[in-house]
Chains A and B, each alone.
Chain A
Amino acid sequence: MDGNATLPALAVERLSVALSGRTILDHVGFSLAPGSFCGLIGANGSGKTTLLRSILGLVTPSGGTIRCAGGKPGQAIGYVPQKIQFDPFMPLRARDVVGLGLDGHRFGIPLPNAARRARVAAMLAAVDAERFADQRVGDLSGGQQQRVMIAHALIRAPKLLLLDEPLANLDLRSIAEVVGLLHRLTEKQGITVLLSAHDMNPLLPVMDQIVYLAHGRAVSGTVADVVRGGVLSQLYGYHIDVIRVHGRVLVVAAGGVEAQDGSLLCDPVHVAPIP
């Protein structure tokens, strides 16, 4: 062994999680190299949020291990939860949200502090949010709010950043901006990113690795290795075709699947039945 360079940023082994008696994750295993950008791809209800919450320590697994480089989750892992709705009636600037990422868990009266102010300003600059830093966060666009949330999650300099569906409900331009920003952060600051999404296409240019979830089971590797008809057919347990067209990937389930498992087909971009 030659030190930390070979240790994964995150190692998940045989992770199983059951919630209210239902198996959500079933022997899921993968590991992420430090500084890599990984997409956690799966349909709605495939267990993406449960997997991220398990990594954060908010869900107790029924089996398996999760190891993460760099200590306790609060410090070592940044987290952007799903569907944060900022209340436009709350007096709260983008700058304040980022500051809460630094010391929002602390007790006592927050006193003015030049070092803290500088750190918040630097973080806002890093996510290109200076222009709207003093605006009320509830009045910002979805893409701007995601950048603020990323700054909130990153201000304590975690090694690993988890994002739960950060691209949902964003327009195409904002999606490109957020993905580009996350890519820069992995390149420049060596942060490992694990981002969940139901559509892998916006991530194709930047993904080093993919973890593909279906029915609580996972396959992982490079996109070229994983996103193939044979591999996904085995994962889903029925025939899957992968079609590459205009630089996009379409994952298509064979007809007749719908009747067995309607939930899987509710997202036409992800899994479209053949007519």
Chain B
Amino acid sequence: MFSSFMLNSWIVATIVAATAGLVGFFVVIRGASFAAHALPLSAFPGAAAAALLGVNEIAGLVGFAALGVLGINGFSRRGRPEVATALTLVLLLGVGTLLLSQSRDDAQLVYGLLFGQVLGVSRAEIVPIAALSAAASLATLMLLRPLLLSAVSPELAQARGVAPGRIDIAFLVIMALAETIALPVVGALLVFSLMVGPASAARNLTDRPWLGLALSVGLSVVTAWLAIALAYQTNWPIGFFVGGLGALAYAVGRAVRGAKS
């Protein structure tokens, strides 16, 4: 499983997982899990749209993710984004169903996008994934402290001259980017678990925010590596292992925190 055929898979999975761990930490502490769940599902019809239009798949995903961001942010009122998120998800999924029904090889496309296909990533696919990951990670690193402060209290952030609304939008964009690139690899249904599982475990393992962030990245990468290895060995879908290991990490984190208190 370390053959040259698999090398690209390892590289891509590492990039995607590190980004997911970094962004996922803030998804968890900011309570944005629902948006993190809805964004990739809203974005995945973008691949069908791209196939119909004959453009790059990633471009289609990014386009639909952008619509998702605009929808969630546009419909949101006063820090209560759940309904806006649900509405956006339903709208884009509806459009996606139509688009997918029009594309010729829809069943295989849908399966790959929903459940991921990490085995057999081509070299050409690495470049856009790496570029978008770097953008999402860099933006997160720049915003570390404002993201944390506004997670503690939007009002405190506002009093310090950090506009919470702008931070919310910036974070939606970051989240959309990070999930879009992970989507073809891990699958739309389980991108979310790679973001939320390791991060929610990490927050239980330490009381220090930046150590928690580092643990989230580390656990996410280890989860992805284990998932690839297990998927390769068993020939089961990688999503199953990502989801299962994420849940396992969370359970261990809870047990550790329970034992400490």
Distance between B139 CB and nearest chain A CB, rounded to angstroms: 10
Residues of chain B lying within 8 A (CB to CB) of residue A104: 145-146, 148-149, 156-157, 160, 162
A96 within 8 A of B: yes
Q: Is the CB of B207 within 8 A of A110?
A: no
- Which among B145, B148, B153 is the interface contact of A84 at CB below 8 angstroms? B153
Q: Check if A225 is an interface residue, CB within 8 A of chain B.
A: no
Are B145 and A100 in touch, CB under 8 angstroms?
yes
State which of A74, A107, A110 has its C-beta within 8 Å of the C-beta of B160: A74
**Residues of B contacting A: mostly:** helix
Report whether B145 and A92 are in contact in the complex, using a CB–CB cutoff of 8 Å.
no
Distance in angstroms from A155 CB to nearest chain B CB is 11
Given contacts A90-B29, A91-B202, A105-B157, contact A96 B209 (CB under 8 A): yes
The 9 closest A-B pairs by CB, nearest first: A104-B149, A91-B212, A81-B155, A105-B160, A79-B159, A136-B207, A91-B203, A74-B161, A105-B162
Task: Give CA–CA (A228, B203) in the complex, Å.
Answer: 53
**Which residue, of B31, B145, B148, B158, has the highest number of chain A Cβ atoms within 10 A?**
B145
Q: Say yes or no: B145 contacts A106, CB within 8 Å.
A: yes
Q: Kindly list 7 other residue pairs between chains A and B, CB separation below 8 angstroms, not including A89-B203, A108-B144.
A: A79-B159, A89-B29, A91-B29, A97-B152, A100-B152, A104-B156, A108-B142
Q: B208 at interface (Cβ–Cβ under 8 A)?
A: yes
**Residue in A84, A87, A105, A108 whose beta carbon sits within 8 Å of that of B29 in the complex:** A87
> Chain A residues with Cβ under 8 A from B152's Cβ?
84, 86, 90, 92, 97, 100
Contacts of A89 in B (CB 8 A): 29, 203-204
Q: How far is the CB of A269 from chain B (nearest CB, A)?
A: 26
Nearest B residue to A91, CB-CB? B212
- Dominant SS at the A interface? loop
Q: How far is the CA of A39 from the CA of B146 in the complex (A)?
A: 31
A50-B146 Cα distance, complex, nearest whole Å: 24
- Residue pairs across A and B with Cβ atoms less than 8 A apart, 17 shown, are A56-B159, A58-B159, A84-B155, A89-B203, A89-B204, A90-B151, A90-B152, A90-B209, A91-B208, A96-B208, A96-B209, A105-B160, A108-B142, A110-B144, A136-B207, A139-B261, A152-B156
| Residues A58 and B158 in contact, CB atoms below 8 Å apart | yes
Chain A contact residue count (CB 8 A cutoff): 30
Q: Does A5 contact B (CB under 8 A)?
A: no
Chain A contacts of B141 at CB under 8 A?
108-109
Highest count of chain B CB atoms <10 Å: which of A93, A107, A139: A107
List chain B residues, Cβ under 8 A from A86: 152
Q: How far is the CB of A103 from chain B (nearest CB, A)?
A: 6
B207 with A92: CB separation less than 8 A: yes
- Using Cβ atoms and an 8 Å threshold, which residues of chain A touch B145? 100, 103-107, 110
B155 to chain A: which residues have CB within 8 Å? 81, 84
Q: Is A177 an interface residue (CB 8 A)?
A: no
CB distance from B194 to the nearest CB of A (A): 19
Measured between beta carbons, the chain A residues less than 8 angstroms from B31 are 87
> Which residues of chain A (57-101) have a CB below 8 Å from chain B?
58, 73-74, 79, 81, 84, 86-87, 89-93, 96-97, 100
Residues of A within 8 A of B151 (CB): 90
Instruction: Indicate if A267 sits at the interface (CB-CB under 8 A).
Output: no
Whole-angstrom distance from the CB of B72 to the nearest CB of chain A?
21
Asked whether, in the complex, the Cβ of B203 is within 8 Å of the Cβ of A100, the reply is no
With both beta carbons as reference points, the residue of chain B lying nearest to A94 in the complex is identified as B207
A contact residues around B158 at 8 Å (CB): 58
Q: Is A54 an interface residue (CB 8 A)?
A: no
B165 to chain A, nearest CB (A): 13
Q: Are A110 and B210 touching (Cβ within 8 A)?
A: yes
Q: What residues of A have a CB within 8 angstroms of the CB of B91 in the complex?
A: none
B207 contacts A107, C-beta separation under 8 Å: no
Query: A44 near B: Cβ within 8 Å?
Result: no
| Chain A, residue nearest B202 (CB) | A91
Residue A233 CB within 8 A of the other chain: no
- Cα distance A87–B150 when bound, in Å? 13
* Cα separation A91 to B209 with both chains bound (whole Å): 5
User: Bound complex: CA of A139 vs CA of B204, how far in Å?
Assistant: 13
**A-facing residues in B196-244 (Cβ within 8 Å):** 202-204, 206-212
- C-alpha spacing A81/B156, complex, angstroms: 7
| B90, CB-defined interface residue at 8 Å | no
Taking the closest CB of chain B, its distance from the CB of A81, in whole angstroms, is 4
Of the residues A56, A103, A135, contact of B207 by C-beta under 8 Å: A135
User: Which chain A residue has the least Cβ–Cβ distance from B151?
Assistant: A90
Q: Which residue, of B31, B152, B211, has the highest number of chain A Cβ atoms within 10 A?
A: B152
Question: A84, A103, A106, A135: which has the most chain B beta carbons within 10 Å?
Answer: A106
Contacts of B29 in A (CB 8 A): 87, 89-91
